[in-house]
Amino acid sequence: MRMIVTFGEMLLRLEVPNPYRFSQTFPGPLYSTFAGAECNMAVGIAALGGKARLSTVLPAHDLGQSAVRFLRGWGVDTDSITLAPSGRLGTYYLEHGAGLRAGQVLYDRAGSTFSLAAESDYSWDAIFENAESFMISAISPAVSEQAAAISLKAVQEAKKRGIPVILDLNFRSKLWQWKPGVEVKTLAQQTMIPFLERADEVLTNLGQLNDVVNLNLPDCNDPTEAAAQLGTKLLLQKYPKIQRVLITLRESLSASHNRWGAFGFDASQSQACLSPLVAGQSAPYEIESIIDRVGVGDAFAAGYLRATQLPFTFQERLDYATAASALAHYVHGDFLFFSHEEVLSLMKGNRDGRIRR
């Protein structure tokens, strides 16, 4: 089996105990784990039985080495991780939402090893050895101007080798701060143009199509097929080389109760798909009593990427990704801690949640 390569920053996640707020917790205990979009994807692919490699730069101290050991424990290829003598491990702080109270994230990523890394910290031949596809998100270019330049170089190196580029349009408004005087959405839109021009597949939601691509969709919270079709049509009009588009569809009834589904379009086959389906009709997952929705989009990407390594149709890839990300709402942490068999069971319609004995 060939390798799916992901490229991006690995983070330390520090969260306050649920359901407390930041103001109730400090000073006090925090729960720590590792995180980071492309890191989450690599772990998810490996957890589902696939082959994934993470390329990043980490500090050479004990935290960085612990991060590498964590990845190896899940079976992620870490040979393309550089341990640097300077910089720090990027961090984010999480306060969970509940009911009508939204969650929030605070970033502390300035001066991280990834944001400061030079091109010489990456060996492109080694990174892309035996690679079947390359995954990057719009978070990586948001970290710093240096990271944006190297992220684009990574995409160019993948394309030079004929490796398909899969782009997740994750938008983090608190990160796009590296060009003073430029509004965050404007900076994101300007920076991401060459990435979109080179992308073979795009994973996104309707809000990100407005924020990153400036499509001016009338209602980015509309979780319908018609809204997804319009977003796809406008995206492909601007970037006709994109072969496949996947759009997650979330209806947020509260911080604890969502409906979840997805739309996919394969331009090479002119095939549109919805997921999940029951008796041929759209039947979004009812996600109630959410445990943790951070990393759910990464779980969708991991499920889709793993599905590309399986003998699945495009509809089945979408179903697998949607099932994986639905399950991710019900586990603590950023990672997809589910097996291929568990995802396949939900994908095939087993929604009863009964104990397996």
Cα 75 off chain centre by: 19
Please report, for the chain, the start and end positions of each structural domain, with discontinuous segments joined by +: 3-347
The per-residue pLDDT of the chain, averaged, comes to 96
In the chain, the N- to C-terminal Cα span, in Å, equals 33
What 8-state DSSP symbol labels residue 219?
-
Mean pLDDT in consecutive groups of 10 residues from the start of the chain, 357 residues: 95 94 93 97 98 98 98 98 96 93 95 97 98 98 98 98 98 96 98 98 98 95 96 98 98 95 97 96 95 96 98 98 98 95 95 75
Cα–Cα distance between 343 and 307 in angstroms, integer?
Answer: 11
In this prediction, residue 194 carries a pLDDT of: 98
Cα–Cα distance between 232 and 297 in angstroms, integer?
Answer: 18
Q: Is 148 helix (H, G, I), strand (E, B) or coil?
A: helix
Alpha helices in the chain (DSSP H): 22-25, 37-47, 62-73, 113-116, 124-127, 140-143, 145-160, 184-198, 206-213, 225-238, 296-307, 314-328, 340-347
In this structure, what token pair is assigned to residue 61? 């101290």
Enumerate the β-bridge partners of residue 81.
Answer: 56
Is residue 256 within 8 A of residue 98, CB to CB? The reply is yes
Predicted TM-score (pTM) of the model is 0.97
- Domain 3-347 carries which CATH code? 3.40.1190.20
Q: Which residue has the tokens 């990393």?
A: 295
DSSP assignment string, 311-333: T--HHHHHHHHHHHHHHHTTSSS
Side-chain-side CA neighbours of residue 20 (13 Å): 14
Is residue 168 within 8 A of residue 299, CB to CB? The reply is no
Question: pLDDT tens, 322-354?
Answer: 999 999 999 999 999 999 999 999 999 988 777
Give the phi and the psi of residue 204 in degrees, each rounded to 5: -165, -175
Q: Looking at this protein, which amino acid is placed at residue 274?
A: L
Question: pLDDT tens, 273-313?
Answer: 999 999 999 999 999 999 999 999 999 999 999 999 999 99
Cα–Cα distance between 186 and 195 in angstroms, integer?
Answer: 15
